[in-house]
Chain A
Amino acid sequence: MMEHLLIAPVVLPALVAPFIIMVLRHHLDLQRIFSLASAVLLAGITLALAAKAADGSVHVYELGDWPAPFGIVLVLDRLSAMMIVLTSLLALPVLLYAIGSGWDTRGSNFHALFQFQLMGIMGAFLTGDAFNLFVFFEVLLIASYGLMIHSGGTRRFQAGVQYVVFNLLGSTLFLFALGTLYSVTGTLNMADLAVKVSQIPAEDTALLRVGAVMLLLVFAIKASLLPLHFWLPSAYANAPMPVAALFAIMTKVGAYSILRIYTLVFGPEVEATAGLTESWLLPAALLTLGAGAIGVLGSKKLGRLAAFGAIASMGTLLIAISLFTQTAAAAALYYLVHSTLAAALLFLVADLVMERQGQWILPQLPMPQTGLISALFFAAAIALAGMPPLSGFLGKLLVLDATRGAALAPWIWGVILLGSLVTIIGMARAGSLLFWKGHGLPAEDPGTIEEPPVGTLPARPAQLPFVACFGLLGGLVALTVFAGPATRYAEATAAQLYAPSAYIDTVLGRTEE
């Protein structure tokens, strides 16, 4: 029974979502209850799985009991466990926010799509098969298309078309890459790929290198690496903000895939692909951080500000990943958790402001609860920019420390520090325009102040959105306070990533557990 727990994070949302569509279609309250219950249960399951994987063991679940290279396997190791826990702990406050702010009532099937999205993300983190990874990518993407255009609107539809077309192109490229790899190696199981790739003689690796680079391009699209990031700002800025907060984990799916495939299959010791990725992944990541920081500074809308903030944090994350060393990977993992929570918090706070003042970053009359919201915005801004006392500072410090020995270290340090400065200036500009300049405006008659330009506020402001925001903030504070255990876990995860033989042996059943 316990071994079947491994597939529960995929199966549970996959059962709840159709149940919500088919049985609870007209009962919003029941939908909310079931969706929340599923999210809480998922958090419990993922924490139990993480406890199982915490001792460094690798767990394999063979679907249909087919042995590994022939059937599809789900694999749980420290990295997968960390990612699914992060997903479920992110989903909970985002769902609370969507319910509390009433976003789930502004279109149909929000909760079902949300569950399908969770199913896809969980599956992508757990699968040990490259083609299955593609399938789960499609599951999470097709749910995200629905969530992205939730509640409609011209701009949202237009951004949605771009988002869908861009991602369909990425999916096609993914299939081309997988086909190329399959034609060379004859397998798509990640562990088996790792074995086969290391056995291919050096003169036959031309196609393999093509496949490896195409695969990296696909993951770079998902992770919004610079020349491939164009889909992100308009998609995230025009999506409903709680959805964008959930999407904060989607770019991390790309980062996770890079980390997984390029340590396991095309690891540093594989000669055929050595130096193929490092030489341009790092400059691209540096440019991503720069573009994100400049975008934060230049944003006129709050949604775009948060989206570019997410791009900047992806830049920092990818800098750490692109070094492909164990210490850098540990720093990347700590920063990954932090940047997911921080980006989600910023999107939710942006929604709090947008519900009251509209989406433009302009001085406006003080809104209801301006003190609380501005405090939350301040916290989210310093978290994302990487200022002390929150975990962004520790994360950036770890990344800087891990890159000390790198060849391009002066560039990395310069770009990260300068990028942080520009991000802080951008956030400070937005915050002071939104929250301070408004106090200087001539007060109109009190009747008009009550009238929000976008959306409608309930008579009594909802408590749940603030609970959700403080939940995310609590996560960031916990990550700061428990930085010691967190970094130890990240280091152990990185060590496991860079010693892939245990993973390969367990999946292929070479050793008895």
Chain B
Amino acid sequence: MELLVASAVGILTAAGIYLILRRRSFPVILGLSLLTYAVNVFLFATGRLVTGAPPILNKYEEVAYTDPLPQALVLTAIVISFGMTAVVVMIALGAYLSSRDDGTAMPVEADGAEEDA
């Protein structure tokens, strides 16, 4: 299972970074989503991988439990990344609709002084 989780994090991160480097809004947003999935799985694994154990301590008997804190962290991270994805979609849409270009690089030629001063 460790191999599965580790390779999932690795592949998601690699795919995310590749997509972000495409420099067009849609792949960049997909890449960011993949990256946040990768980080969520990674955070989940930071409490060590345990299967089939509740995230609750039992004070009456010694039972296996899984660390609850990473689960809380992942929940927070999921909520934040979801909100952030919505924001970046809206801003990218605004940029696309007003410039008719979905590149994420700033167009260089507009920086020259030929724009009326």
The answer to whether A164 touches B87 (Cβ under 8 A) is yes
Is B83 in the interface zone, CB < 8 Å from A? yes
Taking A152-B98, A159-B106, A179-B42 as known contacts, 6 extra A-B pairs with beta carbons closer than 8 A to each other, sorted by chain A number, are A131-B73, A161-B88, A179-B39, A179-B43, A183-B48, A188-B69
The answer to whether A158 touches B35 (Cβ under 8 A) is no
Residues of A whose CB lies within 8 Å of any CB of B are: 131, 135, 138, 142, 145, 149, 152-155, 157-162, 164-165, 168-169, 171-172, 175-176, 178-180, 182-183, 188, 234, 300-301, 358, 360, 362, 364, 453
Choice from A135, A157, A300, A360 contacting B76 with Cβ under 8 Å: A135
CB-defined interface of B15-57 with A at 8 Å, one 1/0 digit per residue?
A: 0000010000100100010011011001101111000000000
Cα-based distance from A188 to B111 in the complex (angstroms): 44
Nearest chain-B residue to A175 (Cβ)?
B39
Is B58 in the interface zone, CB < 8 Å from A? no
> Main SS of the interface on chain B?
helix
Q: What residues of chain B lie closer than 8 Å to A171, measured between beta carbons?
A: 80-81, 84
Q: What residues of chain B lie closer than 8 Å to A453, measured between beta carbons?
A: 116-117
Q: 4 closest Cβ contacts across the A-B interface?
A: A157-B95, A183-B46, A179-B46, A360-B117
Which B residues between 66 and 98 are near A, CB-CB below 8 angstroms? 69-70, 73, 76-77, 80-81, 83-84, 87-88, 91-92, 94-95, 98
Q: What residues of chain A lie closer than 8 Å to B38, measured between beta carbons?
A: 172
Q: Number of residue pairs across A and B with beta carbons under 8 Å? A: 106
Q: What residues of chain A lie closer than 8 Å to B35, measured between beta carbons?
A: 169, 172
Q: What residues of chain B lie closer than 8 Å to A154, measured between beta carbons?
A: 95, 98-99
Shortest Cβ gap from A119 to chain B (Å): 15
Choice from A135, A152, A153, A165 contacting B32 with Cβ under 8 Å: A165
Most buried by B among A149, A152, A176, A178: A176
Q: A159-B106, A179-B43 are in contact. Are A169 and B32 (CB under 8 A)?
A: yes
Nearest chain-A residue to B97 (Cβ)?
A157
19 contacts between A and B (CB under 8 A): A138-B80, A138-B84, A149-B91, A153-B98, A155-B106, A158-B106, A160-B91, A164-B87, A168-B32, A172-B35, A175-B43, A178-B73, A179-B70, A179-B73, A182-B46, A183-B46, A300-B111, A358-B117, A360-B113
Shortest Cβ gap from A143 to chain B (Å): 10
Cα-based distance from A153 to B110 in the complex (angstroms): 14
The answer to whether A155 touches B110 (Cβ under 8 A) is yes
Cα-based distance from A142 to B47 in the complex (angstroms): 28
Q: What residues of chain B lie closer than 8 Å to A157, measured between beta carbons?
A: 91, 94-95, 98-99
The answer to whether B69 touches A162 (Cβ under 8 A) is no
The answer to whether B113 touches A362 (Cβ under 8 A) is yes
Shortest Cβ gap from B10 to chain A (Å): 12
The answer to whether B88 touches A158 (Cβ under 8 A) is no
Q: A169-B35, A180-B46 are in contact. Are A162 and B106 (CB under 8 A)?
A: yes
Q: What residues of chain B lie closer than 8 Å to A179, measured between beta carbons?
A: 39, 42-43, 45-46, 70, 73
Q: What residues of chain B lie closer than 8 Å to A149, measured between beta carbons?
A: 91, 94
Cα-based distance from A172 to B84 in the complex (angstroms): 11
Nearest chain-A residue to B77 (Cβ)?
A175
Cα-based distance from A215 to B84 in the complex (angstroms): 20
Shortest Cβ gap from A43 to chain B (Å): 29
Choice from B88, B110, B111 contacting A168 with Cβ under 8 Å: B88
Cα-based distance from A145 to B111 in the complex (angstroms): 22
Q: What residues of chain B lie closer than 8 Å to A182, measured between beta carbons?
A: 46-47, 69-70, 73
The answer to whether B113 touches A300 (Cβ under 8 A) is yes
Q: A154-B99, A161-B104, A183-B46 are in contact. Are A142 and B87 (CB under 8 A)?
A: yes
Q: What residues of chain A lie closer than 8 Å to B87, measured between beta carbons?
A: 142, 145, 164
Q: What residues of chain A lie closer than 8 Å to B32, measured between beta carbons?
A: 165, 168-169, 172
Q: A131-B73, A169-B35 are in contact. Are A161 and B46 (CB under 8 A)?
A: no
Cα-based distance from A155 to B104 in the complex (angstroms): 11
The answer to whether A165 touches B107 (Cβ under 8 A) is no
Q: What residues of chain A lie closer than 8 Å to B84, measured between beta carbons?
A: 138, 142, 164, 168, 171
Cα-based distance from A158 to B99 in the complex (angstroms): 8
Q: What residues of chain B lie closer than 8 Å to A188, measured between beta carbons?
A: 69
The answer to whether A165 touches B46 (Cβ under 8 A) is no
Nearest chain-A residue to B104 (Cβ)?
A161
Nearest chain-A residue to B16 (Cβ)?
A172
Nearest chain-B residue to A233 (Cβ)?
B106
Shortest Cβ gap from B106 to chain A (Å): 5
Nearest chain-A residue to B91 (Cβ)?
A160
Nearest chain-B residue to A167 (Cβ)?
B84
Shortest Cβ gap from B114 to chain A (Å): 11
Cα-based distance from A171 to B78 in the complex (angstroms): 12
The answer to whether A234 touches B94 (Cβ under 8 A) is no
Q: What residues of chain B lie closer than 8 Å to A135, measured between beta carbons?
A: 76, 80
Q: What residues of chain B lie closer than 8 Å to A158, measured between beta carbons?
A: 95, 99, 104, 106-107
The answer to whether B95 touches A161 (Cβ under 8 A) is yes
Cα-based distance from A360 to B70 in the complex (angstroms): 50
Cα-based distance from A265 to B113 in the complex (angstroms): 49
Nearest chain-B residue to A187 (Cβ)?
B69
Cα-based distance from A160 to B94 in the complex (angstroms): 10
Q: What residues of chain B lie closer than 8 Å to A183, measured between beta carbons?
A: 45-48
Q: What residues of chain A lie closer than 8 Å to B95, measured between beta carbons?
A: 154, 157-158, 160-161
Q: What residues of chain A lie closer than 8 Å to B99, measured between beta carbons?
A: 154, 157-158
Q: What residues of chain B lie closer than 8 Å to A165, measured between beta carbons?
A: 20, 28, 32, 88, 104
